[in-house]
Amino acid sequence: MEMKKWLLIICVVLFVGVAVTLKIVGGSTTESQNDTPVQNYYENLVKTATVKAQAGDAYYQAVLGAAYRRGTGVPEDLTKAYQWSKLSADQGHPLGLFELSALLGNGIPDLNIPKDPDKAKEIDGKAFPGLKQLAEQGDAEAMTIIGWMFDVGDNVTKSAVEAVKWYRKAAEQGYPRAQRNLGIAYSNGKGVEQDTAEAVNWYRKAAEQGDAVAQRDLGSMYYYGEGVAEDKVDAVKWYRKAADQGYAAAQFILGFMYTNGEGVAEDKAEAVKWYRKAADQGYAAAQFALGNMYSKGEGVEQDKAAAAKWYRKAAEQGNASAQSNLGFMYFSGEGVEQDKAEAVKWYRDAANQGDASAQFALGLMYYNGDGVAKNKAQAAMWYRDAANQGDASAQFYLGLMYYNGDGVAKNKAEAVTLYRKAADQGYDRAQFSLGLMYYYGEGIAENKAEAVMLIRKAAEQGMEEADQALRRIEQEISVSGTGMSKDQLAGEIIKTAKELKNAQAEYDVMRAELQLTPRDKIQAKGAEVAQYGPTVLSPLAQKFGRLCMSYTTEYGGGELRDLAVKNDFLDAMSWSRKYSR
């Protein structure tokens, strides 16, 4: 599946090593009437491995260590993972050495063992020759690890094709982790031609053996309708299977499904339950989501202090959205004691990760000198970063700085550009400001009709200042007049409406023909159609609007003005005839 599709999942990366063995045959994949696997491969494996590991078998000591490290078949326990992996490594077994290197590479806080990437790399190098030998002898566990090494370029030259080759060998022996990895390869088209249906096939094989990650992945294929018909109910089914095994990523997704009522009836309290399960395991996205639920009082009693607590947990793990929200809580004093310097700190952490809302907020802090020394150049820089990501507030405020020459060189044309971007998103202050620029011809050619249309949009959103300006503008237009009689003005409206009608019809024909244009010519033809609007339709529409506005202000007929704003020229023709009588 394309990486952009994993927004829902908060992409869980392929773990270092994939150690489970195929010396033990996994459980049956046949499902019972209640649609639950009869046996879980990993649970069966752990039972066998425990007995053999306790008897001193180095291979199974490594297998048991891997199970505790990953939480497959048993709850995750890094202390036990270290103990069993160390016993295996002390006997020189390559699987034990590999597992030990994975643990040391990430550190073990409960044992006060810090991250030691250099030591991990050294041990990993010692493990490689033995792993390669095991893989060549047909050991599925070792083959999967070697596949992973080719996937990431660990001890070997990176090669997605070689990775797939080794994954397939292990997958064909029924090894669920290799089946899942092969599914990922097909889903992403990595090392093999992309084939989402084949990805579903391999995900399902692993999922039916109880592989929680594969269950999550299969759920997502159903959610997005990739390789299988879209089915949110089936998506929830597979997410739940993974969540019931304690897989935090799936618990978070299941909470999301309950929050939004997708594939299951909306139930905010149930969403909170699943978010909490994942959050308690340290899953940052779930901690952020749980913070949101407490902040809004959804599914749980509103509690800003609890919201701040969960935002902080996620923020400390680098979750940009949580950092931004925590920054706001410090800024506003919600759930925490107000501290604008602390707000700046968290906004900056999020902004440096590209969070647009935090970039805008940090810009405001610099502009106003809140929690940081006032610096308008810095404010403009952060506004620009947010504006470039489409943040309407940042687009407006940056436009205002260009309009006034405040922190940047005055540039009214640039102000118009930025106001327009925000106005197109419905930002009322930008609509109002852009309308005024059209009205007075600042940074753009004067266009009273366009000005009135934009200012009215802002007024209709409840902006009092825009409403007052709209009334003044209509009075000004009424005073200025056109010098034409009522019948002359009506006749000009009818004439322009006919021209606009004919131009619109021609444009509609061009667009229809574009649908039939050969692919090799569509770019040129599309450019021609796109150019027609601004060169032909726009001037006529603007003239039509100005004439209707003048008629309204000089001779009455508010309906005609509203029709002009909507460019409803056919009805406007009828109205103009009515008022000319």
451 and 381 share one domain: yes
Confidence band (pLDDT; 50, 70, 90) for 462? very high
Shared-domain flag, residues 351 and 372: yes
Of the candidates 102, 94, 89, the one whose C-alpha atom is nearest the C-alpha of residue 135 is 94
For residue 268, what pLDDT band results from cuts at 50, 70 and 90?
A: very high
pLDDT beyond 60 at 573: no
Map 307-346 to HEC letters: HHHHHHHHHCCCCHHHHHHHHHHHHHCCCCCCCHHHHHHH
The Cα–Cα gap between 384 and 432 comes to 21
In a domain, 220, yes or no: yes
pLDDT of residue 376 exceeding 50, the answer is: yes
Query: Within this chain, do residues 494 and 363 fall inside the same structural domain, yes or no?
Result: no
State the average pLDDT for the chain: 87
Q: Which pTM value belongs to this model? A: 0.75
Looking at the fold, whether 14 and 130 belong to one and the same domain comes out as yes
Q: What is the CATH number of the domain that holds 206?
A: 1.25.40.10
- 521 has a pLDDT exceeding 60: yes
486 against 419, higher pLDDT? 419
Residue 480's pLDDT band (cuts 50, 70, 90): low
pLDDT over 70 at 20, yes or no: no
**What tens digit of pLDDT does each residue of 380-406 get?**
999 999 999 999 999 999 999 999 999
> Are 463 and 352 in the same domain?
yes
∠ CA 503-509-510, rounded to 5°: 90
Per-residue pLDDT tens digits for 3-13? 334 334 333 33
> 405-449, pLDDT tens digit by residue?
999 999 999 999 999 999 999 999 999 999 999 998 999 998 888
Q: Answer yes or no: is pLDDT of 364 > 90.
A: yes
Q: Quick one: 471 and 574 in the same domain?
A: no
Position 105 in a domain? yes
pLDDT score at 216: 97
Q: Is residue 148 part of a domain?
A: yes
Q: Over the stretch 46-104, which tens digit does the pLDDT of each residue have?
A: 999 999 999 999 999 999 999 999 988 899 999 999 999 999 999 999 999 999 999 99
Alpha helices in 208-283 (DSSP H): 212-224, 232-244, 248-260, 268-280
Convert the pLDDT of each residue in 156-176 to its tens digit. 999 999 999 999 999 999 999
Q: 107-142 pLDDT, tens per residue?
A: 999 899 999 999 999 999 999 999 999 999 999 999
The Cα 42–Cα 238 span in angstroms is 17
Give me the pLDDT at residue 523, please: 73
For the chain, give the percent of residues with pLDDT over 70. Answer: 85
Residues 325 and 441 in one domain: yes
- Residue 181 in any domain: the answer is yes
Overall domain count for the chain:
4
**Domain co-membership, 524 together with 576:** yes
- Which residue type sits at 448? K
- Across the range 454-469, mean pLDDT stands at 92
| Structural domain contains residue 139 | yes
Mean pLDDT of 556-560: 60
Domain membership of residue 334 (yes or no) is no
Q: Range of 42's domain?
A: 3-245
**327 closest CA partner among 313, 314, 345, 303:** 345
pLDDT at 187 over 50: yes
Following DSSP, what letter does each residue of 265-318 receive, concatenated?
---HHHHHHHHHHHHHTT-HHHHHHHHHHHHHTSSS---HHHHHHHHHHHHTTT
Residue 205 has what pLDDT? Answer: 97
Say how far apart CA 298 and CA 276 lie, in whole Å.
13
Query: Within this chain, do residues 494 and 565 fall inside the same structural domain, yes or no?
Result: yes
506 has a pLDDT exceeding 80: yes
- The residue out of 480, 515, 541 marking a domain boundary is 480
- pLDDT above 70 for 15: no
Do 20 and 133 belong together in one domain? yes
pLDDT, average across residues 539-565: 67
Q: Are residues 129 and 99 in the same domain?
A: yes
Domain boundary among 245, 279, 300: 245
* pLDDT of amino acid 211: 95
DSSP secondary-structure letter at 76?
-
Name the phi and psi angles at 17, rounded to 5.
Answer: 85, 150
Q: Is residue 552 part of a domain?
A: yes
Please tell me the least confidently modeled range out of 90-99, 460-469, 549-558. 549-558
Same domain, 376 and 462: yes
- Residue in the structure block whose two tokens are 């997502």: 220
Distance CA 329, CA 168 (A): 50
Q: Has residue 385 been placed in a domain? A: yes
pLDDT at residue 19, rounded to an integer: 34
Domain end, chosen from 480, 512, 536, is at: 480
